[in-house]
Structure 1
Amino acid sequence: MPIITLTTDFGLKDHSVAAVKGALLCELEQVHIEDISHEISPFNYTEAAYIIKNAYHNFPKNSIHIIGVDSELTPENKHLAIFLDGHYFICADNGILSLISSEIKPDKIVEINIHDNFERKSKILDVFISVAAHICRGGDLDVIGRTMTHMNELTHVKPIVNQLEDQIIGHIIYIDNFGNVVSNISKRLFKSVAKGRQVLISARSTQFKNVYSNYSEAINFNVPKENREMEGKKIALFNSSDFLELAIYKSNPLSVGCASSLFGLKYLDTLTVKFL
Structure 2
Amino acid sequence: MPIITLTTDFGWKDPYVGAVKGAIYKEIENVNIVDISHEVSPFNIAEAAYIIKNAYHSFPDGTIHIIGVDAEHTVENIHIAVLLNGHYFICADNGVLALIMNKLHPEKLVEINIHDRISSNFTTLNAFVSTACHIARGGTLEVIGKPISRIRALSGVTPKISDNKNVIHGQVIYIDNYGNSVSNITEDIFNEVGKGRKFEISARNEHFNKIFKKYSDIVNFDDEQKKRDVDGKGLVIFNSAGYLELATYKSNPLTVGSASTLFGLQINAPVIITFIEE
TM-score (norm 2): 0.97
Aligned residue in 2 for 1:112? 112
Q: CA deviation at 1:193?
A: 0.9
**1:200 corresponds to which letter in structure 2?**
E
% of aligned pairs identical?
A: 54
Deviations along 1:17-39, one digit per CA (max 9) or x if unpaired, are: 00000000000021000000000
Q: CA deviation at 1:123?
A: 6.8
| Matching of residues 1-276 of structure 1 within 5 Å | 1-121=1-121, 124-276=124-276
Q: CA deviation at 1:158?
A: 1.6
CA distance in 2, matches of 1:94, 1:101: 13
Q: Is the 8 A contact 2:71 2:124 kept in 1?
A: no
CA distance in 2, matches of 1:45, 1:55: 16
Q: Structure 2 vs 1, CA of residues 45 and 74 (structure 1 numbering), >3 Å: closer, same or farther?
A: same
CA distance in 2, matches of 1:133, 1:271: 41
Q: Structure 2 vs 1, CA of residues 231 and 74 (structure 1 numbering), >3 Å: closer, same or farther?
A: same
Deviations along 1:62-116, one digit per CA (max 9) or x if unpaired, are: 0000000011100000000000111000000000012211131111110000111
Q: CA deviation at 1:122?
A: 5.3
| SS across alignment from 1:35 | strand
CA distance in 2, matches of 1:167, 1:26: 53
Q: CA deviation at 1:186?
A: 0.2
Deviations along 1:203-252, one digit per CA (max 9) or x if unpaired, are: 11110110111111222212222222421211011001010000000022
CA distance in 1, matches of 2:229, 2:187: 26
**1:158 corresponds to which letter in structure 2?**
T
CA distance in 1, matches of 2:123, 2:76: 21
CA distance in 2, matches of 1:36, 1:120: 25
Q: Is the 8 A contact 2:3 2:64 kept in 1?
A: yes
Deviations along 1:130-179, one digit per CA (max 9) or x if unpaired, are: 11111011111000001111001113332011011111000000000000
CA distance in 1, matches of 2:230, 2:63: 41
Q: Is the 8 A contact 2:71 2:123 kept in 1?
A: no
CA distance in 2, matches of 1:211, 1:192: 16
TM-score (norm 1): 0.97
Q: Structure 2 vs 1, CA of residues 121 and 237 (structure 1 numbering), >3 Å: closer, same or farther?
A: closer
**1:275 corresponds to which letter in structure 2?**
F
CA distance in 2, matches of 1:121, 1:239: 39
Q: Return 5+ residue gaps in structure 1 as ranges.
A: none
| SS across alignment from 1:235 | strand
Q: CA deviation at 1:124?
A: 4.6
| SS across alignment from 2:156 | helix
**1:194 corresponds to which letter in structure 2?**
G
**2:75 corresponds to which letter in structure 1?**
P
> What is the aligned length?
276
Q: Is the 8 A contact 1:19 1:124 kept in 2?
A: no
Q: Is the 8 A contact 1:68 1:125 kept in 2?
A: no
